[in-house]
Structure 1
């Protein structure tokens, strides 16, 4: 997986959310959380797995919505941040964090009602294998996001030391088919890439996001979006 050593560094985990979701980055955090809840809610009483849970942003959110959720990640440092977040939110006793490999999920078939992964597939070196494992352990929902190949993300990728894996819609549809999944819904968003918003103060990010959304609502909006949210079922 791309950036695996970088991702597991303690200093990266400690600064991860402040660098990505403060200032203009809060708009990304808000949109991602809405995407997860729109796909998986109602969560009360559902058994859920989050793959590559990182610092537990979504794990804690789902626990607060009543899910019986497990957050799994390869980074011990990220999991430590997630456990601290769960304690602060008062849900430490209602969720589980565990270290594990997304290519070999340590669960039986059909164990969860829903399985999801955010900010993961752009790092995946074997996306078909990861998605097949997610499908295997889910009875119903599988949800994930990708960065789009034909978008402003291409230019942003040139600035990154390790880059990101970018996907065309057709490639994701092929991955879904290979994993035995049927697409329920796909949403495409953010004409401007995430990295742009993270550099902006809140007062400037808000009007730019409004303009971004306006473009997204036009007939070309989906074609020029940089992020896709994929909701499938087994």
Structure 2
């Protein structure tokens, strides 16, 4: 995985949410959570694994809505931030944080109903291997996002602390075919890249986001979106 040492540093974990999801970044947080909920609701009673759960943004949200969630991450510092969030949360389901490697998941086959991985595949050095492992432990559904090659993100990707793996739609389609996953839906968003929203106040980010949403709602501009949210289903043996 790219940037493992950077990601696991204590100071990175302590500042992670504030740097990425404050100011205009609140719009990113809201949109990502919306994408996850759109894909998997209703979540009550579902058994969910989140890969690379970080500080627990999605794990806590899903547990609050009645899911039984395991959040797995390689960073002990990130997991500690997640555990602190739980202290203030009103959970209807259950939530457990585990430190582990996404390439060797410590769970039996088909153990979870749903596996999600947000902000993960841009760091993957072998995305097919990771997706196969996610497929192994999921009995129903896998939801993930990718950063897109033909987008504004490609302009500044080189300047990021650990860079990003950028994907074309055809590359993801090939990954899904190789791992026996069926595409249910894909949502494309954010013509303006995440980095812009994180760097400006919310009052300025809101009108930019409104314009972004209006322009990005057309089929032609969708091709230049910075991020795609993928909703996939595990193929049943009868469909193979």
Give yes or no for TM over 0.5: yes
Equivalent residue for 2:237? Answer: none
Would the aligned equivalents of 2:115 and 2:134 in 1 still touch at CA under 8 Å?
yes
Task: Give structure 1 regions of 4+ aligned residues with deviation exceeding 6 angstroms.
Answer: none
Matches within 5 A, 1:127-166: 127-166=127-166
Would the aligned equivalents of 1:86 and 1:92 in 2 still touch at CA under 8 Å?
no
Provide the secondary structure at the position in 1 that maps to 2:215: helix
Quickly say closer, same or farther: Cα 1:171–1:203, change in 2 above 3 A.
same
TM-superposed CA distance for 1:222, in Å, is 1.2
> 1:66-85 CA distances to partner (integer Å, 9 max, x unpaired)?
00000000000000000000
TM-superposed CA distance for 1:88, in Å, is 1.2
Q: CA RMSD in A?
A: 1.1
CA distance in 2, matches of 1:146, 1:76: 24
TM-superposed CA distance for 1:93, in Å, is 8.0
CA distance in 2, matches of 1:44, 1:218: 34
CA distance in 2, matches of 1:231, 1:136: 16
Equivalent residue for 1:47? Answer: 47
Matches within 5 A, 1:132-211: 132-211=132-211
Provide the secondary structure at the position in 2 that maps to 1:220: helix
Equivalent residue for 2:118? Answer: 118
TM-score normalized with structure 2 length:
0.95
CA distance in 1, matches of 2:175, 2:100: 22
> 1:95-141 CA distances to partner (integer Å, 9 max, x unpaired)?
10000000011111111000000000000001001101111100111
CA distance in 2, matches of 1:141, 1:206: 32
TM-superposed CA distance for 1:225, in Å, is 0.4
Q: Is the aligned partner of 1:14 residue 2:7?
A: no
CA distance in 1, matches of 2:177, 2:11: 39
> 1:165-190 CA distances to partner (integer Å, 9 max, x unpaired)?
00000000111111110100001000
CA distance in 1, matches of 2:202, 2:196: 12
CA distance in 2, matches of 1:49, 1:105: 10
Would the aligned equivalents of 2:9 and 2:77 in 1 still touch at CA under 8 Å?
yes
Structure 2: where are the runs of 5+ without partners? 235-240
Would the aligned equivalents of 1:83 and 1:92 in 2 still touch at CA under 8 Å?
no
Provide the secondary structure at the position in 1 that maps to 2:146: strand
TM-score normalized with structure 1 length:
0.98
CA distance in 1, matches of 2:117, 2:219: 29
